[in-house]
């Protein structure tokens, strides 16, 4: 079911968005060479506890998950691009790290992701992150009243294709509100002018993710982590936004 929220309810979502944005900013800055992924997850768990918030991940067990997730943060490294299950791994110089974080604050959920390079960057990784960032910005720009879901998807895909990247549509954006994942599904490719019309009060997560040289993914043995089929690296960017009568509100804006 697709829900529309009142301006008052959207205002009530702001603390969740702000907390997710601030925590992701801290985690991205903390991720240094030699740091263990489990330490990042522990830091995120402490911040959740201090804020009196609730993780959306610990008990999360959708049909595609091998078991309840069991951690509070997704940490995807290099050829992993989505749903990376934190494990005993120390970050190395040049690692491409994607962090995905969703929490419930006072009954409202916010969901966001960011990709960074740890230590010395590879030029191709920086370009991949830049492409995912620009695709997210294009998707948000298309998320205005009167447009359709396909306009968001097409805007994302145009940026990816211009950069010579393939696009996987198995996982993408989604509705957000009282729950982490809801309708509508927002694929990272689509036809303009198609799909549901965007109305004020719709709150969605837009999340482009791309791989260097493939659009195919495989499940890791942990039952969660999704990796590129050819070993190439991936980047993932995501914001929770609200459709309004004017410009969309980026609830997880890390620049505020």
User: What does the alpha-carbon distance between residue 226 and residue 231 come to, in Å, rounded to a whole number?
Assistant: 11
| Binding site residue list for a divalent metal cation | 100, 111, 174, 207, 238
In this structure, what token pair is assigned to residue 171? 């996982």
User: What does the alpha-carbon distance between residue 254 and residue 256 come to, in Å, rounded to a whole number?
Assistant: 6
| Binding site residue list for substrate | 83, 181
End-to-end CA distance of the chain: 32
Q: Are strands 249-250 and 80-82 parallel, antiparallel or unpaired?
A: unpaired
| Binding site residue list | 83, 100, 111, 174, 181, 207, 238
Decide: 114 and 254 in contact? Cβ < 8 Å: yes
Place of tokens 């036809």: 191
């Amino acid at each position: 079911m697709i829900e529309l929220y009142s301006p008052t309810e959207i205002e009530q979502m702001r603390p969740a968005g702000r907390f997710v944005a601030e925590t992701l900013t801290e985690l991205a800055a903390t991720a240094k060479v030699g740091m263990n992924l489990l330490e990042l997850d522990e830091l995120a768990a402490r911040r959740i506890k201090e804020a009196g918030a609730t993780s959306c991940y610990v008990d999360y067990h959708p049909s595609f998950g091998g078991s309840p997730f069991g951690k509070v943060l997704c940490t995807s490294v290099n050829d992993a691009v989505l749903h990376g299950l934190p494990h005993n791994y120390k970050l190395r110089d040049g690692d491409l790290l994607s962090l995905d974080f969703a929490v419930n604050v006072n009954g409202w959920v916010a969901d966001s992701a960011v990709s960074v390079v740890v230590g010395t960057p590879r030029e191709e990784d920086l370009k991949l992150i830049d492409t995912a960032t620009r695709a997210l910005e294009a998707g948000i720009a298309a998320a205005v009243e009167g447009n359709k879901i396909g306009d968001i998807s097409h805007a994302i895909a145009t940026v990816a294709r211009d950069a010579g990247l393939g696009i996987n549509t198995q996982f993408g954006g989604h509705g957000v509100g009282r729950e982490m994942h809801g309708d509508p599904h927002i694929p990272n490719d689509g036809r303009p002018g198609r799909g549901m019309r965007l109305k004020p009060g719709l709150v969605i997560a837009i999340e482009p993710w791309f791989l260097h040289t493939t659009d195919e993914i495989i499940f890791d043995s942990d039952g969660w982590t999704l990796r590129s089929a050819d070993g190439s690296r991936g980047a993932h960017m995501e914001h929770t936004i609200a459709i309004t009568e004017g410009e969309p509100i980026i609830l997880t804006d890390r620049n505020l």
